Chain A
Amino acid sequence: MTRKRSITPYTFLLPALALLGIFVVYPIIAVVYYSFTDYDIVRPPVWVGLDNYAKLIDDPTFWTALTNSIVYLLVTPILIFLSICLAIIVNRRLRGIHIFRALYFVPAVSGSIAIGLAWRWLFERNGFINSTLLSWGVIQTPVQWLATPQLTLPIAMLLTIWAGVGYYSVIFLAGLQNIPEELYDAARIDGCNDFQKHRYVSLPGLRPQIVFVAVISSLAALKVFDEIYVLTNRTGGILDSGVTMVFYLWKQAFQLDQAGYASAIAMALLAVTLVFSIFNVRILERGQSEDAT
């Protein structure tokens, strides 16, 4: 450790801090200011006080967006559960297991627009799902999967889950492989069956990974945009059924030129994110104190 005073550490930090200042800190300050103005990006902002926030409270679409974003958080527990299951399934010595592990990761690297288009084509009125169900006689007329308001959000969430399971299971697999073999041996000697073995050894052993995935996937769920954009063909769905916070922010700022109002939506997004982060940190701290004892 260097103890003498020098500017060296700051020179190392300078590029990162300068870039963060320009592209993160300044924009946050600016967006707070814009949220109190009438602004369309082209003309200078005009101070309107709390008007945007008052409008927000009376805007049903905003409440739909807020509700949808919070409902979207349901993907987090589902992703954690399915990813742990997948990690347990692929955590065994079988010939070719590496190929399967790689296959499950494919949706995570393919890009949300490409996989969104692929899914759209499955759920299209003339898509694969309808023609399969028709040929099996399950349905008599094609279902309008993407044009049914109640289905917009669930299909997007299903897409997020499908694309995320392989990705997060890699994290859990690494966690499983760090759990000492002796713990499983001890569990077996104590008479645990396979299910109990995972319940009482794997699950507590995966606690750091569970916390990490919970934080990462819930932050991602609050920011969801691409899936909605592609699946609803940039409309947000019939009756705004698929509109999320970020989608509404984007629509107001860049489609309707209401950047001031969109900034107020951004502040609401920040507030929701902070609440969930504090919630997550609480869980994290509880986990650490349990580990320490």
Chain B
Amino acid sequence: MSHASMAEIIEPVAINQRARRRPRRGQIVSSGLWYIVLVFLAVITIFPFFWMLMTSLKGPGDPVYSVPPQFIPTDPTLAAYGRVLDLLPIPRFFVNSLIVAVCVGGLNVLVAAMAAYPLAKMRFPGRDAIFYALLATLIVPAQLTYIPSFVLAVNVFHYYDTLPAVIFPNLVSAFNIFLLRQAFRSIPNDLIDAARVDGAGEWRIWWTILLPLIRPSLAAVAIFTFVTSWNDFLWPSLMLHTPDGLTLPVGLAALQSNFISDFRAIAAGVTITVVPILLFFVVVQRYFVRGLAGAVKG
């Protein structure tokens, strides 16, 4: 305690904050209680995944259904994973999902970063009209556009049942343009004016000066778009039908109808598809937080 009282003498202003941080018996008890709350909430959050994993590992001697429920398999086996991989080309689904999500995440952020720059930093006729038109499209539910987009895919673009059909309609997002416009606005005008005085063209300014400055926002938007695209279901389920050409969520939904009674196999399929995106989330976690926090600042 002596260093704390020293601190109070040296920095009287900080007394309040120090007092709160000093570990006291009461605080240890209260942090113990908080851990109980946190663990309880974590169990609620994780339990459905845990139950899936355990079901997928159950062997022939373990009941998938019993009263009371059996949590840990006594006879664990990977047989269910073998069955599901035999019936569905899950590695292919994975590659398809990856192609789609990388294209959509990467190109969407590029298109949005291009559109956001003039909206944030240039003055030109029609700027406000374009901006408000973009905002208006945010309100329109995407599902509203699916019937005409379906017709376009079949009759005009002829990409029905191919991956481009789930890439092209998702290459633009008014929401991403809006987020990146906020990022560009935080850059001082002097910097851009200085570059213009030095004779740099707008494209060069955009590419070599501005994009590196907003790299954290670009990463957050790209990662968000990647995950959204990875998990997208309704539109891909309308477009993709060839068994080898499905994305993971569409393939997973097919699994449900193929294995009505084989819960071990369904559980194995769900587990295989959830693990990669969870690993990805662990790696890029901080960008999620930044992206979500940044969305509200404006």
Contact = CB atoms under 8 A, between A and B. Distances in A.
A212 B295 contact: yes
A15 B149 CA distance: 18
Contacts of A134: 67-68
A208 B143 contact: no
A253 B285 CA distance: 38
List the 3 closest A-B pairs by CB distance, nearest first. A174-B293, A135-B68, A27-B145
A114 B231 CA distance: 9
A219 B52 contact: no
A263 B282 CA distance: 41
Contact of B140 (A24, A103, A126, A250): A24
A115 B273 CA distance: 11
A249 B146 CA distance: 10
Interface string A261-283: 01100100110011001000000
Nearest to A260: B147
A16 B112 contact: yes
Nearest to B293: A174
A67 interface: no
A134 B234 CA distance: 36
B45 A107 contact: yes
Interface in A96-126: 97, 100, 102-107, 109-115, 117-122, 124, 126
A5 B124 CA distance: 7
Interface of B is mostly: helix
B150 A41 contact: yes
Interface in A240-272: 246, 249-250, 253-254, 259, 262-263, 266, 269-270
A34 B66 CA distance: 52
A27 B16 CA distance: 60
Interface in B169-199: 169, 171-172, 174, 177, 189, 196
25 contacts: A2-B124, A8-B203, A9-B122, A12-B115, A15-B114, A16-B112, A17-B115, A19-B168, A100-B42, A104-B45, A106-B49, A109-B231, A109-B288, A110-B49, A113-B249, A121-B263, A131-B67, A134-B68, A170-B288, A222-B141, A226-B234, A233-B257, A234-B257, A270-B140, A273-B139
A211 B20 CA distance: 32
Given A105-B281, A115-B48, A185-B16, A225 B172 contact: no
A119 B267 CA distance: 11
Contacts of A122: 48, 51
A24 B168 CA distance: 12
Contacts of B270: 114, 117-118
Interface string B117-131: 111011110010010
Interface residues of A, number: 96
Given A110-B274, A113-B249, A8 B112 contact: no
B144 interface: yes
A229 B68 contact: no
A133 B277 CA distance: 33
Contacts of A34: 147-148
A121 B267 contact: yes
Interface in B243-298: 248-249, 252-253, 255-257, 263, 266-267, 270, 273-274, 277-278, 280-282, 285, 288-289, 292-293, 295-296
A119 B257 CA distance: 16
